[in-house]
Amino acid sequence: MSDTSAGPRLLGPAEVRQLAAELDLRPTKQRGQNFVIDPNTVRRIVRESGVGPDDVVVEVGPGLGSLTLALLEVVDRVVAVELDELLAARLPRTLAEHAPAAAERCEVVLSDALRVTELPGPPPTALVANLPYNVSVPVLLHLLALLPSLERGLVMVQAEVADRLAARPGSKVYGVPSVKAAWYADVRRAGAIGRNVFWPAPNVDSGLVAWTRREPPSTTVPRERVFEVVDAAFAQRRKALRGVLRSVAPAEAVDAALAAAGVDPLARGESLTVEDFVRIAEALPPTSGQPSRQSSDRPSRQQSGPVPEERA
């Protein structure tokens, strides 16, 4: 790891506004651009994430570089995925100006995080990001599927989305994001973030979500089949499973699968754990062309394909 004895100079409100003025930057809601202007907040995010000097960190939406600089204080390498060409072009110079001893340890990737299929360099071990709020859930699920080498992470998202991601069965906000995130990791809320640390200030509250990778709950049925069952279960969340799952299998097969899984046919999706959904999927007949066994979701150094976009 390079010598960082001088330490990066983090961005405050004046530096953020100066950079924005230089770039003639007008943050857009379409790209979820709200830039953190408080150095204490980005240091808190890094601290809560638990990353250290051996970590290779993926950051999505680095923007002007506030969190990137705080990460470079601590970790070995940052791969920053940025969709905005203007911001991606300016970030290396910002890092060179504010963290000259550490700038070379960050690689900027100009790409849409939802369409990334591989990342340069050694396999990343952590994801730490202020995710664009309009696509936070699909980006998180895509990267968890794409990068099994990720061991842990912490992301800042809209508070309502943070609640959904970390929700447990029986909660009013438990749903598709909760179940799909639980396939990959143990997820928990890690705190709240005030609106005044952003420029421009968002009109929603923000929350931190931390997660730790775990073994997938099944290697005998494809993840995609389990997620198909999850999607069907919550498509009409007030209806019983026996009825809504008929979109993925014939009625007789659904009844038999629920019985084999030990799940009440009159239960609703909001009461089931990811393991319950796995047992149902395992008992359902395979779809056309679906293999009966698949073990590609086991965490490894190899990459797997993306998951479909999922709304929060």
The annotation status of 230 as a binding-site residue, yes or no, is: no
The annotation status of 40 as a binding-site residue, yes or no, is: no
Please give the angle made by the CA atoms of 222, 129 and 16, to the nearest 5 degrees.
155
The annotation status of 36 as a binding-site residue, yes or no, is: yes
The annotation status of 196 as a binding-site residue, yes or no, is: no
The annotation status of 282 as a binding-site residue, yes or no, is: no
With a CB cutoff of 8 Å and minimum separation 6, the contacts of 311 are 137, 138, 176
Q: What are the start-end ranges of the H helices in 147-293?
A: 159-166, 176-184, 223-235, 241-244, 251-261, 274-283
Rounded CA-CA distance 310/137 in Å is 6
- In this structure, how many other beta carbons lie within 10 angstroms of the beta carbon of residue 266? 11
Q: From 70, 150, 65, 59, select the one nearest 111 (Cα to Cα).
A: 59
The annotation status of 309 as a binding-site residue, yes or no, is: no
Query: Which residues fall in the annotated binding site for S-adenosyl-L-methionine?
Result: 34, 36, 61, 82, 112, 130
Query: Which residues fall in the annotated binding site?
Result: 34, 36, 61, 82, 112, 130
